[in-house]
Amino acid sequence: MLATKNPPAAAPAAFDPSSTKQQGVDAYTFAAEPRALQHRKKYRDLAEDQKSPPVNIMYDRRIHRGNTYASPALPLVERMQHAQPDPVEIQKQQEMKRRLKAKKRAEARRRVRTPDPVEGRKHIDVQTDLYLEELSDKVPEAIAATQTDAFINRAPSPLYIPQKSGVDVATQIYQGELFDFDYEVTPILEVLVGKTLEQALMEVHEEEELAGLRAHQLKFEEMRNAELAEVQRLEDAERRRTEEKDRRLAEQLRILKEKQEVAEKIAARAFAQSYLNTLIPSVFESLATNGYFYDVVEKEVEISVLPWLTSEVEKNIERHILSRRIVDDLIRVHVRSFRQSNGVFDPLVQGYDQ
C-alpha cells in the first residue's frame, strides 16, 4: 500500500520592494537615495598605466619570450631609437619641412585678409552658416540608465500524483456529469438575443437623433440666411448713406476751394497791376543803361567789318614777312655756293652769311 504525502501549502510571497509586479502606493522603492554619477575619464592615462604593475604575467614586458640561448631581439621601436640616423634621410626630412613652411607662407600671403575695422568698432568671430551650431571645447556627454525587472518567482511545484496501477473494468457516471445541450445553450442564446435587441434599439435611437439634428440644422441655416440677408441690407443702406455724406463733403470742399482760388486770383491781379505801373519805365531805363539800345549801323561795323579788316591786315603782314624770309634764304644759299665754288674769301659776304 502506497502512502501519499500532500505537499505543504505554499507560503504567501513576501513583499519585494525591487519587484515591478507589486501594486500599490509603494510599488517603486529604492534601497538608497539617487545620486549623480561620478565623473570618469573618457581615455586612459598612459602614465598611470605605466605606474601600475601588470596583472597578467602574459602581458608583462619583463618576461622574455622566444629562444633563451640566442641574444634577445630588441623591439622595432628600440631598434629605431638605437640605430644611427641616416644623413640623407635627415636632409630629405629637413627639405620637406622647409617646403611645407614655404607653402604655408605662400598660402598665408595669397589668402585675402579682412580689412582693419573702422574707428570705434572691432572684429568678432561669428558663424555665417545656414544653421547655427554651438561651439564649445567640452566633449558632449549624456547619461543613460537602464532598470530591469526583478526575477519572477518560480512557479509552485505540481502536486505529486502516484503512478496509476491496476486495470479499470467499468466507469460510473453520476447525474449531471454529461453535457446537456438544451440546458447549457439557453443562457448563451438569451445573451445573444438580448445583445442583438439592445444593439438594434441603440441604432434606432441614433437614427432618430440624427434626423432631429438634421432638422435642427436646416432650421438654423434658414434663420442664419435670413439674418445674413438682413445684415447685408443694413450694410448696403449704411454704405449708401456714407457715400452720400462723403460726396456732399467733397462738394462743399470743392466750392470752398474755388472761392479761395478766385479770391487769390483777384488779389494777384491787383498786385500785378500796382507792380507793373512802375515796372515799364524802370525796365527801359535799365536796358538803356546796360547798352541794349544802340545804333544798328555802328553795331554792324563793330561786329562784322572791323574783325574782318583786322584779320585781312594780319594775313597781309604775315605774307610779307614770309616772302622776305624766303628771299633772304635764297640770297644766303647762292652766296654760300658762289664762295665755295670760287674759293674767294669776302668779309662782306662772310658777314652777310653769318
With a cut of 70, say whether residue 29 has pLDDT above it: no
What percent of the chain stands above pLDDT 70? 74
With a cut of 70, say whether residue 56 has pLDDT above it: yes
Is the CB of residue 350 less than 8 Å from the CB of residue 332? Answer: no
With a cut of 90, say whether residue 220 has pLDDT above it: yes
What is the reported pLDDT for 117?
83
Instruction: For residue 253, name the pLDDT band (cuts at 50, 70, 90).
Output: very high
Instruction: For residue 166, name the pLDDT band (cuts at 50, 70, 90).
Output: confident
Burial (Cβ within 10 Å: 0-12, 13-18, ≥19) of residue 22: middle
d(CA 51, CA 49): 5
What integer is the mean pLDDT of 42-52? 52
pLDDT in tens, 167-188: 777 777 777 777 778 888 888 9
Is the CB of residue 133 less than 8 Å from the CB of residue 127? Answer: yes
> Across the chain, what does the average pLDDT equal?
77
Q: Residue 130 CB: number of other CB atoms within 10 A?
A: 5
What are the C-alpha distances in Å from 341 to residues 329, 330, 334, 337, 351? 18, 17, 11, 6, 18
Q: Which residue is it, cell 579788316?
A: 309
What integer is the mean pLDDT of 135-144? 79
What percent of the chain stands above pLDDT 90? 27
What integer is the mean pLDDT of 296-300? 78
What are the helix (H) ranges across 180-278? 181-276
| Overall pTM > 0.75 | no
What is the reported pLDDT for 140?
77
